[in-house]
Amino acid sequence: MDDPAVTSALYWLSWMPLVRNVAAALVVIGVAAEFLEGWISEPWRETVEHARELQVAQLARDADTAKADIAKGSFRSRPASLAGHAESTQRQH
């Protein structure tokens, strides 16, 4: 075993159990982090989802109101400043 290649191989092989253990530990840490992230962020996701549902409901009510106003013919015309802006953007395109 005086061959330098064998000595080098034995040296690096002695490190392999440590490398394997470190890799296994990193996998365990990664899985634990995934689990904790899901557990910690769930209340925030629920808050955002609830706010999104409220916003969709409000927009649906606004759309229903707008449809009813249009059906009645009681909708308001656009202010002159908006009408002029719409015409100027149409000319640009």
Amino acid at 41: S
Task: Evaluate if residue 10 carries a pLDDT over 60.
Answer: yes
Residue 11: what pLDDT? 92
pTM of the model: 0.48
Q: What is the dihedral of CA 60, 66, 69, 70, to 10 degrees?
A: -120
Average pLDDT for the chain: 86
Task: Reduce the DSSP state of residue 62 to 3 states and report it.
Answer: helix
Domain containing 11: what range?
Answer: 4-92
Contacts of 10 (CB under 8 A, 6+ apart): 1
Instruction: Look at 90 and 53; give whichever has higher pLDDT.
Output: 53
Task: Evaluate if residue 72 carries a pLDDT over 70.
Answer: yes
Amino acid at 83: A
| Number of domains composing the chain | 1
